Amino acid sequence: MNIKDRQDCESNIRRIEELLACGIFNQENAGHILQVSAFIDLMICLRDLMHKTEKYAQKIDFSDDILVNDYVTDVSDAIRAIRETCNMRISVIPNSNSGVIRSPVSRSFS
């Protein structure tokens, strides 16, 4: 693994730990204005880790508790699908004047 990917993995793991530890996903914070942003951040980190796991080792492919269909066959596919949905959410933002604004922030992993 190259140094940049290793640092990305370490950063993603730290970020996931911080997000889970901060309490944003606790019941008392249900509906918190930053909960969606935290969830999207979590999905970005998880998808990057899944991508690097498949690149350097082996795809994580368990399907326990996953609703399998033509698009999603395992946990990696589920995380990818959720991440892509989050990407669509942040790249097309409703605008009262012209319909939509395209966000410049859009990373995607195969």
Q: SS3 of 4, please?
A: helix
Top-confidence residue, 70 or 102: 70
Q: Stretch 86-103: mean pLDDT, rounded? A: 53
Model confidence over 15-58: pLDDT tens digits?
Answer: 999 999 999 999 999 999 999 999 999 999 999 999 999 999 99
Give the pLDDT band (50/70/90) at residue 86: confident
Q: What is the pLDDT of residue 99?
A: 45
Tokens coding 47: 């998808």
Instruction: Please give the distance of CA 23 from its chain centroid, rounded to a whole number.
Output: 18
DSSP state of 85: H
Q: With the C-alpha atoms ordered 68, 74, 75, 80, is the resulting torsion angle positive or negative?
A: negative
Residue 68 lies in a domain: yes
Contacts of 46 (CB under 8 A, 6+ apart): 12, 16, 79, 83
% of residues, the chain, pLDDT over 70: 79
- What's the total number of domains in the chain? 1
Residue 107 lies in a domain: no
95, 45 in Cβ contact below 8 A? no
Q: What residues make up the domain containing 64?
A: 3-102
Length of the chain: 110
Residue 110 lies in a domain: no
pTM score, whole prediction: 0.74
In the block, tokens 């989050």 appear at 86
